């Protein structure tokens, strides 16, 4: 007769002896209490159809993003065959796991409640309080998100602001790309390259139109106020410059989009540098408080004017021209467009592109998009960005703990 030997350790003891997985580290930084409270208020019955706690199902959805799973089917299969994952998510190690339909219904509930938006804001606040986010400069851009549904001819598109449609834009290499689906608008901190605000729109929505709502969300999510907002030429609209200067007391750093103009504005070069009466570009001499100063290029040694400096001014200092943002907030910005300081700031805008790359490659922003409808796509985006921020917070908390122990 064979006698089965008893276990020295319980399953929980065995798990605790193992190094913590990435999922455990990420989940340890997330507090779902507020989310669960809202879901409880919306439905007095706080358990799903098969009796699974909200927190466990939330953990499982985060696990989908951590492990870059594409579908609920893949998630259920992984939970079924991986007792460690079931344990980490909070499900019974030796019991059943939620069905695909259960996860689908729970996802719908999350979408309708919009509780993930507040969880995202809470993560941004935590990252800022830890010093992970330097809000002095914020980069804003949009990226394509392909729809998980059959494309529709342009003539049959529902232009209701909710349905997927056709979008077109230039990629980083200047190639024109077209897609059917949505557009993800994001604002990121240029230091940590973490998202601080986001929105989802149909693919055809103009980037500039969404600038106002993204700026407002940045202001609501951040405690400190950015000095600069960095955007590409697609956002080159005077209303955006005015909004940022007057309402947010900041400066927009955006290249000029000449929109096919054949001549620069009268008295200015293409980058809004004043032209002297002899036809030379004037020399930039610094700026502050919305005012840029330019001096005679002959006096500054930038050109050899046949008329000399006396052509424009009797002073040995040479002629001085000042441009002010209140005259034209689009043309006259500080630092002056094209200067080394302006270029240094604008080059940081690529941080938002790297953020998009990580969301798509590592957190399933596109490959894991197995839902339909703009609201569910937004829920999917929130799960991706929440997981990204939680990962960075977790890593830095571990570093702090190690430093203290050392």
Q: What are 66-102's pLDDT values in tens digits? A: 999 989 999 999 999 999 899 999 998 888 899 999 9
What percent of the chain clears pLDDT 90, i.e. is strictly above it? 53
| Token pair for 22 | 């990435």
Q: How far is CA 343 from the centre of its chain?
A: 21
How many angstroms separate the CA atoms of 122 and 246, rounded? Answer: 27
How many angstroms separate the CA atoms of 119 and 199, rounded? Answer: 15
Average pLDDT score, the chain: 86
* pTM for this prediction: 0.88
Please list, in sequence order, all residues whose beta carbon lies within 8 angstroms of the beta carbon of residue 331, skipping any fewer than 6 positions away. Answer: 256, 265, 268, 272, 323
SS3 39: helix
**C-beta of residue 196 within 8 angstroms of C-beta of residue 187:** yes
- Chunked into runs of 10 residues, the chain (406 residues) has average pLDDT values of 47 50 89 88 56 91 92 94 91 89 92 91 94 93 88 81 84 81 94 94 91 95 95 93 95 90 89 90 90 91 83 83 92 92 94 93 80 88 94 80 43
Backbone angles phi, psi at 28, to 5 degrees: -65, -20
How many angstroms separate the CA atoms of 258 and 269, rounded? Answer: 12
Q: 138 - beta bridge partners?
A: 189, 229
Please state whether beta strands 228-230 and 251-253 pair in parallel, antiparallel, or not at all (unpaired): parallel
DSSP track, 87-132: HHHT--TTS----HHHHHHHHHHHHHHTHHHHHHHHHHHHHHHTT-
Of 327, 321, 323, nearest to 242 by C-alpha is 327
Integer-rounded Cα radius of gyration of the chain: 27
Please list, in sequence order, all residues whose beta carbon lies within 8 angstroms of the beta carbon of residue 360, skipping any fewer than 6 positions away. Answer: 143, 366, 367
Give the tens place of pLDDT for each residue, 304-353.
888 887 778 878 888 899 999 999 999 999 999 989 999 999 999 999 99
| Token pair for 134 | 């330097």
HSE of 26, CA atoms in CB hemisphere, 13 A: 25
């Amino acid at each position: 007769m064979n006698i089965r030997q008893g276990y020295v350790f319980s399953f929980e003891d065995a798990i605790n002896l193992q190094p913590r997985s990435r999922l455990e580290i990420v989940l340890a930084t997330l507090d779902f209490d507020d989310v669960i409270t809202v879901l409880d208020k919306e439905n007095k019955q706080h358990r799903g159809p098969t009796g699974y706690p909200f927190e466990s199902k939330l953990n499982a959805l985060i696990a989908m993003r951590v492990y870059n799973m594409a579908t609920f089917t893949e998630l259920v299969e992984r939970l079924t065959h991986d007792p460690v994952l079931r344990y980490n998510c909070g499900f019974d190690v030796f019991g059943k796991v939620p069905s695909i339909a259960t996860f689908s219904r729970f996802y719908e509930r999350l979408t309708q409640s919009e509780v993930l938006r507040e969880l995202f804001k809470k993560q941004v606040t935590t990252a800022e309080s830890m010093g992970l986010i330097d809000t002095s400069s914020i980069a804003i851009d949009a990226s394509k998100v392909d729809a998980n549904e059959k494309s529709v001819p342009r003539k049959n598109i529902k232009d209701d602001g909710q349905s997927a449609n056709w979008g077109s834009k230039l990629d980083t290499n200047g190639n024109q790309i077209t897609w059917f689906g949505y557009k993800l608008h994001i604002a990121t901190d240029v230091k940590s390259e973490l998202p601080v605000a986001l929105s989802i729109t149909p693919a055809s929505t103009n980037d500039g139109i969404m600038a106002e709502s993204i700026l407002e969300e940045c202001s609501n999510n951040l405690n400190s106020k950015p000095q600069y907002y960095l955007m590409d030429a697609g956002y080159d609209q005077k209303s955006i410059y005015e909004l940022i200067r007057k309402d947010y007391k900041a400066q927009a750093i955006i290249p000029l989009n000449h929109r096919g103009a054949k001549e620069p504005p009268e008295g200015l070069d293409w980058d809004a540098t004043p032209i002297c009466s002899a036809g030379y570009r004037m020399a930039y001499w610094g700026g502050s408080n919305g005012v840029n100063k330019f001096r005679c290029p002959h006096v500054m040694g930038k050109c050899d004017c046949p008329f000399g400096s006396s052509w424009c001014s009797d002073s040995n200092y040479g002629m001085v021209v000042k441009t002010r943002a209140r005259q034209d907030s689009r043309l006259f910005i500080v630092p002056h467009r094209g200067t080394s300081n302006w270029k240094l700031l604008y080059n940081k805008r690529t941080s938002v592109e790297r953020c998009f790359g990580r969301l798509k490659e590592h957190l399933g922003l596109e490959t894991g998009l197995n839902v339909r409808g703009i609201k569910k796509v937004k829920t999917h985006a929130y799960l991706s960005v929440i997981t990204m921020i939680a990962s960075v917070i977790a890593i830095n908390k571990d570093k702090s703990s190690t430093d203290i122990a050392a």
